[in-house]
Amino acid sequence: MKTMLVLIALALALPVSAQEEPKKETPKSDSAATLAKKARKLEHELMVSRMKLEVARLDTQIKAETAKAGLAKSGRETKNAKDAVAHFDKVAAPTRVKEAQITLDAAKNAAEQAKDEYNELVAMYKAEEFAEMTKELVLKRGRHNLDLAERRLQVQVGKLQDLEKSVLPRERAALKGKLQDAESGFRRAQLTTEKTKLEIRIAVSEAEHAVNTNQADLAETRAKLAKIVKK
């Protein structure tokens, strides 16, 4: 028992340095193999990011050309629609009204001639003695011609009215609708072009940022690896 107490006392009397100190965990540092593996991975990522940047630049050209072509096409369609409305108002509609008026005037003239001829026949057969059958036949033929001429006249009057009040307004409304659609399409093309420009800038900027980030990470990893190799 006394021996045990002596040993305990001696242990307590020993200097702290003589006692076993607890081991401290040191932070793990990257090994050369780990850094080399990381460098190879970053080299691959850098290569891919550079290719993506080139793709983004090519895509930029394609989208820019597509937007430009779409805007130009929409502009042409708008101009054509405006020209169509202007031509309709200045040339097509007035010409068709004039043609219809000429046809109507011709029908009026034919009706007047048929009426005059019939009146002449009536007057002639009143003044002279003719066989009753011949008289009825001639007058019947004259009345028939007069009736046809007057009916044609009424048809032409109706056609002119329909042309001016219904047909031409509907056609003009259709042309105006096409113009409005073309103008709306042109505005959408303009907005699409602006949107495409922003998308292009974002895509290229992101691709460039990825390349720069990969380059920086690779340079840092290579620097660490170089320090380890020198030791």
pLDDT bin (cut points 50, 70, 90) of residue 134 is low
- Long-range contacts at 37-43 (CB < 8 A, ≥ 24 apart): 38/221, 39/218, 39/221, 39/222, 39/225, 42/214, 42/217, 42/218, 42/221, 43/218
Task: Name all domains of the chain by residue range, CATH numbers in brackets.
Answer: 36-230 (1.10.287.950)
- Is residue 6's pLDDT more than 60? no
- Range in 76-80, 163-167, 194-198 with the lowest mean pLDDT: 194-198
Predicted local distance difference test score (pLDDT) of residue 170: 94
In contact, 153 and 111? CB cutoff 8 Å: yes
Predicted local distance difference test score (pLDDT) of residue 225: 82
Predicted local distance difference test score (pLDDT) of residue 5: 40
pLDDT bin (cut points 50, 70, 90) of residue 174 is very high
Size of the chain in residues: 231
- Is residue 227's pLDDT more than 80? yes
pLDDT bin (cut points 50, 70, 90) of residue 52 is confident
Calculate what percentage of the chain has a pLDDT beyond 70.
83
The encoded tokens of residue 89 equal 């108002």
Predicted local distance difference test score (pLDDT) of residue 137: 74
In contact, 56 and 203? CB cutoff 8 Å: yes
- Is residue 144's pLDDT more than 80? yes
Q: What is the CB neighbour count within 10 angstroms for residue 215?
A: 14
pLDDT bin (cut points 50, 70, 90) of residue 130 is low
Predicted local distance difference test score (pLDDT) of residue 173: 94
pLDDT tens string 26-36 = 344 568 888 88
Calculate what percentage of the chain has a pLDDT beyond 90.
31
Q: What average pLDDT does range 88-114 have in this prediction?
A: 92
